[in-house]
Chains A and B, each alone.
Chain A
């Protein structure tokens, strides 16, 4: 009876089995076909994209001599899981640390609060950037230290100790770098100063990528698809600088014990031949494992060695500025080449008196340049400001004057290929309106005419003024990098920038500067056979005067234009002129004559005492 009824139950049991299979097939459909999430999850689980670091580009000087290159350094890595039973004492002796340091470091690694992403199974950084020499000792014993591995990284090495400011340095990226450029990952290196920073994109190259398979513990199990999706890294581009290594080294030697800057430019190309900022430092200090410590020390130094004074220092140019004034007055027709102004120990107007030193009076332009006559340029400036018929108001005159200055590369950044350039200061009418509440005239601001007052230039701008005069009216934007391997030179650096002054007027200034060397303020720069033209400057400030010099040579085919700025060096002729002369000789002759060498040695050992109070 019940048998008949129960017979149907086989269908129900069969149906249950069929239903289960159908439900499971639907679930499979939703897992495997409807959703991509699982696939993505699986990939991020299993693929470890291992970055292959490209070699950073090398840096050479203008003659192809190596300045910066890469040296292998080794990071010692440890996998905690495997690191058991290591002879700690032997290990510590080999890598040169104490047992306490070892224990402390191990504790740091295990502390997942400090060491984010810690895993017992993956390599952790134990010591970073062991130099190759020390590493070779460690490597011999590596087999004894189970669980310790090495990771090869490159650190920057320097063939010379000079040009730290220009070359710059490389350090680990900051969080900001990582956020602003997706190229970087934490732990990558990036240029922080100098050309390392400004040419970062050329130097860094293109990272490669290896796709590895990683197991659940993070252990590497091999290449994905035999490496067919891997990418080989492209090395960074090499840089050739305009810098002359010998000239740079000499400049730094000459500036030893003094604050200031030497900038030399090749006027025919705009390439920076040397850029000395004193005090300087050994670039090795900012490379390798002690970078942070050394950086702090340099940063705290009251003499500010990290400051690149050549582009960041803003100084009154003093009398070197008179060249630009003469040019402006000539072009504007305020004076002609025969105009002469009286000078009896200075410029006198009412109660105003700008002092001058003894020389014949009245003076014409070339003679005024030769003798650096304050009175002459004050009169010229005064007449320009008072030329109501020409300009209408003093404001217009002032702004006209400012336009001339800007056309010569003052008041704005020149655009050198280094980070941190300052713009200097060229006042305009609005500035004085604000400053003097509208009540000012040519006399109020007369000191602008002799490179004092509100005028401030960087040593690079002063050198560029000199290059402009050497070129008789144009300049190229100064740049430290001559060429980048594998890419054309940037056209910004090959375009001539003309000033507002015609070429013919420049010849009078050149004449004056030549006469200054032959028989004027910078006789000390008279190098036989090199036809040097020069102009001194003695810039007043709160302390002792700054000693300034600009010069170029040879007169008719200039190959070097230089500015020397020695803080608190006194008269231009005291420090700046002889230093500039030695530099010119070195560059044009390729070496120093015995007398030049003697002079160089003498100046290298002369120091100026700076009280920290003045800083």
Chain B
């Protein structure tokens, strides 16, 4: 039986790596990959804590929801990146300032 701490530790490491990628990468695709890592870290936590609910399995069910949502969000994000590229000929988020308020 793998103890809960290991799951949480791996989740935290994954989350931190994802965060690091989101903050530091110069490529929108890599940022998207960082986001996927963070989502997966959270799914891992959900599933790990799910062992305490054997009757309803809410952790697992939430995990599935999040996987579906992540797939949808990746599709949307890729489209956004495509459009960004079409508009600015770059996918480096530091090169675009159109979010500026």
Judge: A and B partners, yes or no: no
Which positions in B face A, CB cutoff 8 Å? none
Which positions in A face B, CB cutoff 8 Å? none
